[in-house]
Amino acid sequence: MIKSLKQVQAAFSLLNPAAVRERAERRVDIGLVARTSSAYAEMEDFLIPAALPRDLQLQLAQTLHRAGDADVSHNVDLVLYESGLAAPDGAFTFYRDDPQRTASEILHPNEELSLALARQYPAFRQPVVHRTVQAVAWENALFAVATALPNVVPTLFELPWVVGEFASDTAFLTVNQIRMAFLIAAACGKEVGVAQQKVEVLSITAGAFGWRALARELAGKIPLGGGLIPKGAIAYAGTILVGKGLEHYHHARVPLTKSQREEIYGQAYEEGKLVAESLSRESRPPA
């Protein structure tokens, strides 16, 4: 549990919006290897869809390098091979019938490039946002469970960042959701920062105390530690709802409807119960 909490601490290095912007705006150069011009064009369409503004298409075109080009750069960040060609170790295959598999296989070993890939190339946007939301929801469920466990709370004093900067779980969860808002905006190609995202930040802050008060109430009423499960599940589900709402807002420019919020929260709460049960089992000492 303490090891996991220290991993959460490391994640908070991205609370600084300037650090998020720097990571997201890193240029990513991609080498392409194919046998025909049409195959090259297919991979380029995957990375730079026609729906993008023309000026952005031209800008991104400078980051794609065909293997046969006379001025091809050897300093590419990753290499993508046409399906049917044997890709060497460290390179990736473009699956024309399953582009999401292509994106997933590229992202898995390239965590340090994930935010930049999502910001620059729309094909990576949805999986990166999904992974971000899931990761932050897990962190918040972990913290909600940890701060409610008598056998864990004393050891938290080994972590000054918890006690000094986040005196309550409400403060921690709220700040972590704001960090998530920065990451989602960066992945979606939007402006990043408190001033630039004041609507999202105010919304997260305003909604922070309602469902967390419910979590504390449930935790207090259910005996023998049973309240850990709803407390962790609510922290998880509330974070999923915020993340999905931010993603929808950046895509559609309108908030989720009431029925959409209820459906997302209900599904996430059931997932959150399983997460909280697992975390509470792992954190308890043997009888």
3-state secondary structure 93-125: EECCCCHHHHHHHHHCCCHHHHHHHHHHCHHHH
Q: Specify the pLDDT at position 151.
A: 46
Q: Specify the pLDDT at position 143.
A: 84
User: Model pTM?
Assistant: 0.82
Q: What's the CA gap between 280 and 272, in Å, rounded?
A: 12
Helix/strand/coil percentages in the chain, nearest 5: 65, 5, 30
Q: What's the CA gap between 201 and 136, in Å, rounded?
A: 16
- The answer for residues whose C-beta is within 8 angstroms of residue 233's C-beta and 6 or more apart is 141, 269, 272, 273, 275, 276
Q: 79: helix, coil or strand?
A: strand
For helices 198-206 and 208-221, the axis angle rounded to 10 degrees is 30
Q: What's the CA gap between 232 and 252, in Å, rounded?
A: 30
- Which of 129, 100, 79, 109 has its CA nearest to residue 242? 129
Q: What's the CA gap between 177 and 135, in Å, rounded?
A: 11
Q: Specify the pLDDT at position 124.
A: 97
Q: Specify the pLDDT at position 246.
A: 92
The CA-based angle 104-191-257, given to 5 degrees, is 75
What is the DSSP secondary structure assignment for residue 137, as one 8-state letter? H
Q: Specify the pLDDT at position 234.
A: 87
Strands 64-66, 78-82: pairing kind:
unpaired
Phi first, then psi: give them for residue 222, nearest 5 degrees. Answer: -95, 120
The full set of domain ranges for the chain reads 2-23+123-283, 29-110
Q: For the chain, list residues with pLDDT below 70.
A: 1-14, 71-74, 148-169, 207-227, 283-287
Q: What's the CA gap between 116 and 125, in Å, rounded?
A: 10
